[in-house]
C-alpha cells in the first residue's frame, strides 16, 4: 500500500466531493491514486493498482457508475489481512474501505451495533469491552474490517459453538454493481444475504452492517493449556470437551513424526459467569485489555521478529516447535485467567512477525475435513509434508460446524491451518505439494478457505463444492454483476470466466 504520507493525500482527495448532480467521469478519476503496489498479507503476491478510498455511500455509487461507464474491473480490500490474492487486482481498481469506518449506533440493552463496513474488529472490541460486550466472532488478528469479514465469512476459535460471523449479522445494506441498494437479512432478500456473506466481495459492496455483540461479565476468561501426544489425542480432547468450552484451539508441531505425529498443545477457554469475577468491571477497562507494546517493559514488540529471525529456517523451527511442546508440560492442565484480547489475537501479539520470512514470503494452506475423516486426512497431509521435505512452521487445529452460507468453507469437522515459508528456490516444490494436499482434502470430502488461499486451482475448487452452490453463485453473479465488473486476482485464478 501507499506510504503514510501518500495515504493521507488520497484520503483527503476522496472525501465525498464528487458531484451529486450527474456523474463526472474525469472528476472521479481525479480521486484515484496513481498505480501503486498493493500487497497480499503473506507478501507472496501483489498487484500494481489504482486505489480508491471511499468515505460515504455516495462514493460507492460513484465508483460503480465509473466502473460501468469505463468497464473497469473492481476489487474490494478491507484490512488487507487475506494471505493471498483475494484483495489485489492487477487489471483494475482496488477499493480500500478502511476510511468508511464509523460506528453509527449501539443499543446497550441488546448489544446490537450498526456500523459502516470499514469498521475493524479492533474498533468493535475496543468500543464494546468497557460496555460489557465482545464481538461474537473474531479472527486471530483484530485488523479485518466488517466488510472483509463478511465477504470471507470469518470464523474464530468458537466456530464449533456459535458458527461464523455471518450467523450474528442482523442485517446489512448492500450495493450491487448495477447501482441497486438492498437491505438484506435472514428473512429479507435472504438469497442475497446468504450469498454476499461468503461471496468473497464478488457480488457487491457491504455498506452498513448490523451485528449483535456478546454480553460478557468479566474482562478475563479461564484458560486450560493441555499438551497432547499426537493428533488423535488432540482430536479426542476436542470431541470430549467442546460442549463444556467456549473456545478451543490447538497448536500442532508439524515436525513431529512416528507416534508423535501431530502432537501439540490445546488452549481451552471458558467465559466467567455473572458474579464470578471480583475484578469486574475494572478489568474491562481498555487500558487493562490492550496488548502490551513492549516485551518485559523494555523491548518494543515491533522489534521482536528480529529476535525470531535466526530461527527462521527448518532447523531453527524444528527446535522452536520442540521447545514449545516440552515447555507445555510445565503448566499442563493448570488453569489460569487471561484477558479477551490476549487470548483472541495471538497473531497481533508480535507485530510484523511475518517479516521473519523475509527476504522470501509465506503462504498459509488451510483445509477443512469432515470429522469422520479428519484425523487420517490431516495425518496424511503432515506425513506428506515431511516426506517432501517442506514442513509447515506453524500449524493450528480448530473444530467447526456447518452453516447456511452459499460458498461456505465450513464442514462438520476440523481445519488445519499450516504456514509455509516461500522462497525463490522452493516455490515450484511448494505448489506441487499443495496440489498433492488438495487431492487428500478432496478425497476426504474437504473444503478450502479463500481468505487464506494462494494455490487453489479452479478444477479442485469445483470438486470440493456442491454443484448446486456453484450454479447458484453463477446465477447471482450474472444477475447482480452482468458486466463482470467485480474481479479480484483470486476470482480470476480460482473462479475463472
Question: Which ranges of the chain have pLDDT less than 50?
Answer: 1-21
pLDDT of residue 4: 37
DSSP secondary structure string, 52-87? Answer: E---SHHHHHHHHHHHHHHT-EEEEESSS--SSSTT
> In angstroms, rounded to a whole number, what is the distance separating the alpha carbons of residues 495 and 485?
14
Q: What pLDDT was estimated at residue 16?
A: 45
Query: What does DSSP assign to residue 492?
Result: I
| Lookup: cell for 15 | 472525501
User: What pLDDT shows up at residue 13?
Assistant: 39
User: What pLDDT score was predicted for residue 169?
Assistant: 98
Which of 224, 417, 226, 222 has its CA nearest to residue 325?
A: 226
Based on C-alpha coordinates, what's the Rg of the chain?
22
Helix (H) or strand (E) holding 421: strand 413-422
Query: Which letter does DSSP use for residue 448 in this model?
Result: E
365 touches 455 (CB < 8 A):
yes
Assign a CATH topology to domain 103-216: 3.30.465
Q: What are the C-alpha distances in Å from 314 to residues 44, 125, 131, 230, 353? A: 19, 37, 45, 21, 17
Q: Does residue 70 contact residue 25 with C-beta atoms inside 8 Å? A: yes
Residue 444 · residue 370 · CB < 8 Å: yes
Omega prior to 281 cis, within 30 of 0: yes
HSE value, Cβ hemisphere, 13 Å, CA-based, for 257: 9
Q: Which residue has the cell 514449545?
A: 324
Confidence (pTM): 0.93
Q: Are 57 and 101 in contact (CB under 8 A)?
A: no
Domain ranges of the chain: 103-216, 220-464
Report the C-alpha gap between 421 and 405 in whole angstroms: 32
Please confirm whether the linkage preceding 453 is cis (ω < 30° from 0).
Answer: no
Is residue 365 classed as helix, strand or coil in its secondary structure?
A: strand
Between CA 430 and CA 102 the distance in angstroms is 41
Specify the long-range contacts of residues 381-385, CB closer than 8 Å, at least 24 apart: 381/416, 381/418, 381/437, 381/440, 381/441, 382/231, 382/252, 382/254, 382/261, 382/262, 383/257, 383/261, 384/433, 384/436, 384/437, 384/440, 385/254, 385/418, 385/433, 385/437
CATH number for domain 220-464, candidates 3.40.225.10, 1.10.3720.10, 3.90.330.10, 3.30.70.2520: 3.30.70.2520
Locate cell 450495493: which residue?
Answer: 175
The whole-number pLDDT of residue 350 equals 86
* End-to-end CA separation in angstroms for the chain: 28
Residues 6+ apart with CB under 8 A from 391: 254, 255, 314, 317, 318, 385
Order of strands, sheet of 247-252, starting from the edge strand that comes earlier in the sequence: 336-339, 220-228, 264-271, 247-252, 394-399, 413-422, 361-370, 447-448
Q: DSSP states of 242-308 as a string?
A: GGG-SEEEEEE-TT--GGGTT-EEEEEEEEPPTTS-TTTTGGGSGGGTSPPSEETTTEEGGGHHHHH
Per-residue pLDDT tens over the stretch 30-73: 999 999 999 999 999 999 999 999 999 999 999 999 999 999 99
Query: How is residue 437 written as a grid cell?
Result: 494436499
Q: What is the pLDDT of residue 497?
A: 57
Amino acid at each position: 500500500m501507499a506510504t503514510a504520507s501518500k495515504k493521507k493525500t488520497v484520503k483527503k482527495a476522496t472525501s465525498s466531493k464528487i458531484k451529486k448532480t450527474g456523474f463526472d467521469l474525469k472528476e472521479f478519476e481525479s480521486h484515484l491514486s496513481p498505480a501503486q503496489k498493493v500487497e497480499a498479507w503473506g507478501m507472496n503476491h501483489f498487484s500494481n493498482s489504482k486505489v480508491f478510498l471511499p468515505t460515504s455511500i455516495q462514493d460507492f455509487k460513484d465508483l460503480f457508475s465509473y466502473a460501468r461507464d469505463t468497464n473497469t474491473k473492481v476489487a474490494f480490500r478491507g484490512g488487507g489481512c487475506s494471505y493471498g490474492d483475494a484483495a489485489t487486482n492487477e487489471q483494475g481498481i482496488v477499493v480500500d474501505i478502511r476510511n468508511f469506518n464509523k460506528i453509527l449506533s449501539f443499543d446497550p440493552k441488546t448489544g446490537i451495533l450498526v456500523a459502516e463496513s470499514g469498521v475493524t474488529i479492533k474498533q468493535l472490541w475496543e468500543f464494546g469491552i468497557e460496555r460489557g460486550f465482545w464481538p461474537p466472532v473474531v479472527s486471530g488478528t483484530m485488523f479485518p474490517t466488517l466488510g472483509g469479514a463478511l465477504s470471507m465469512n470469518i470464523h474464530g476459535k468458537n466456530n464449533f459453538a456459535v458458527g461464523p460471523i455471518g450467523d450474528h449479522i442482523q442485517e446489512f445494506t448492500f450495493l450491487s454493481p448495477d447501482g441497486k441498494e438492498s437491505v438484506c437479512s435472514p428473512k429479507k432478500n435472504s438469497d442475497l444475504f446468504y450469498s454476499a456473506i461468503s461471496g468473497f466481495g464478488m457480488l457487491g459492496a457491504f455498506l452498513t452492517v448490523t451485528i449483535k455483540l456478546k454480553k460478557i461479565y468479566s474482562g478475563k476468561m479461564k484458560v486450560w493449556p493441555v499438551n497432547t501426544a499426537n493428533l488423535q489425542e488432540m482430536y479426542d480432547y476436542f470431541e470430549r470437551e467442546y460442549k463444556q468450552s467456549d473456545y478451543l484451539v490447538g497448536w500442532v508441531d508439524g515436525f513431529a513424526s512416528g507416534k508423535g505425529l501431530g502432537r501439540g498443545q490445546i488452549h481451552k477457554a471458558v467465559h466467567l459467569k455473572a458474579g464470578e469475577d471480583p475484578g469486574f468491571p475494572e478489568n474491562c477497562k481498555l487500558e487493562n485489555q490492550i496488548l502490551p507494546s513492549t516485551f518485559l517493559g523494555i523491548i518494543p514488540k515491533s522489534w521482536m521478529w528480529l529476535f525470531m529471525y535466526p530461527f527462521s529456517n527448518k532447523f531453527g523451527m524444528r527446535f522452536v516447535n520442540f521447545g514449545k511442546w516440552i515447555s507445555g508440560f510445565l503448566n499442563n492442565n493448570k488453569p489460569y485467567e487471561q484477558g479477551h484480547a490476549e487470548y483472541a489475537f495471538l497473531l497481533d501479539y508480535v507485530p510484523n512477525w511475518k517479516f521473519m520470512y523475509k527476504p522470501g514470503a509465506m503462504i498459509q494452506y488451510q483445509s477443512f475435513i469432515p470429522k469422520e475423516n479428519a484425523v487420517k486426512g490431516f495425518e496424511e497431509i503432515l506425513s506428506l509434508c515431511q516426506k517432501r521435505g517442506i514442513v509447515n512452521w506453524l500449524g493450528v487445529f480448530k473444530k467447526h460446524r456447518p452453516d447456511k452460507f452459499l460458498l461456505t468453507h465450513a464442514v462438520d469437522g476440523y481445519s488445519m491451518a499450516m504456514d509455509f515459508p516461500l522462497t525463490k528456490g522452493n516455490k515450484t516444490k511448494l505448489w506441487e505439494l499443495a496440489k498433492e494436499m488438495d487431492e487428500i482434502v478432496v478425497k476426504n470430502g474437504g473444503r478450502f478457505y479463500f481468505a487464506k488461499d494462494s494455490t487453489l486451482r479452479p478444477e479442485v475448487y469445483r470438486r470440493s463444492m456442491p454443484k448446486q452452490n456453484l450454479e447458484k453463485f453463477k446465477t447471482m453473479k450474472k444477475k447482480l454483476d452482468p458486466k463482470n465488473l467485480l474481479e479480484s486476482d483470486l476470482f480470476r485464478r480460482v473462479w475463472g470466466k
